[in-house]
Structure formats: structure tokens, C-alpha cells
Amino acid sequence: MAEPQDYDVRDFAMILNQLPDWMPISKAYHFAPGTISNWTYSCEREHMVDWFLSQATNGGGSYTRDNPNRSAKRTYNRLSNSGSILWINEALGADRERVKEAAHAAGEVTDHRARCKIVREYFPWDSVLELVNQYLLNNPNQKPVSRNRKMTRMARDARRRK
């Protein structure tokens, strides 16, 4: 049986909630001139946990959606904050030099969509999935409480085979 190709956004949020509040490279990037405005969260972890959890709802305010989104993959690929994408990867244990390279490359442009595209070129969803699966393998007591039993069963079976 293959490893899961996606996670429920609620499970992914539970995983993110176990990670550090900030990471050094993504924090420096986040607060560099021209990268952020109106910061309302105490830390990036809180920001991303809230963002992924909110996807399972119809949202609210400026972020209202017609249909809830349960896909962590879709949420990651639509995320339009390059600092958040960097934090997810750095906090999950991506190679520090690669995170630095991505931050530097993204910092060379001003358009936020272009920045996100650049960071995702360094860290596409498949690499995030590998980092998540490795994190869960290395931290067996840090498993999310899954609402998607099939996905959890597939991940568990894949871990047992390793």
C-alpha cells in the first residue's frame, strides 16, 4: 500500500501545532522589509494552524468560501504567503541551506505570488509530504488525531513496512 499523497487539513494542522512557534530563517524572512504587513498572530505556528483548520469550514470575512476544503495539499499549493511556506518546510526539518536559498531567491522579487512560486519550486508538495511522513516516523507519539481513517491506516502501514 502506498503512502498517503495528501492529509486532511485538520490532521495537517495538528501536525503543525506540534512544531516550534518560529524558525530562524523563515522568521528573518517574514520580518524583512517589504514582506509583511498587519501581523495579527503571536507566531507563525499559530497562523498556520489557524489557516489550515479554517479550510475545513466555509471561512469568514474576506476568506469566505462556497465549499470547505479538506485537502492539505490544495491548501499548501494555494497558500499566498511565502514566509509561511518557508516556515512549514523549515519547521518540518527541510535542509537549512535549501531553506536559505529559497528565502534568498524569493526575497529578490517583490510580487507576493512570484515569491510563493519561487519557494514552492524549492519545496513542492511532494517534498512537504516526505518531511511530514519522516516527522511522524521520527516522532511516533506526535501523531495527529485523524478524522480520515483510511489515510491514517495507509500512513501507519507504510511506517510499519520501513
State mean pLDDT over 121-139.
95
Q: What distance in Å separates the CA atoms of residue 94 and residue 87, rounded to the nearest whole number?
A: 10
Instruction: Identify the residue whose cell numbers are 511522513.
Output: 133
Average pLDDT, the chain: 86
The single-letter DSSP state of residue 92 is: T
Query: Lowest-pLDDT range, 19-28, 96-105, 151-160?
Result: 151-160
Quickly state the pLDDT bin for 53 (edges 50, 70, 90): very high
Say how far apart CA 159 and CA 89 lie, in whole Å.
21
Is residue 58 within 8 Å of 68, Cβ to Cβ?
yes
- The domains of the chain are located at 9-160
Kindly state the percentage of the chain with pLDDT values over 70.
81
- 134: how many CB neighbours lie within 10 A of its CB? 12
Reduced to 3 states (helix: H, G, I; strand: E, B; else coil), residue 8 is strand
Give, in order, the Cα–Cα distances in Å from 8 to each of 4, 13, 70, 82, 114.
10, 9, 5, 22, 27
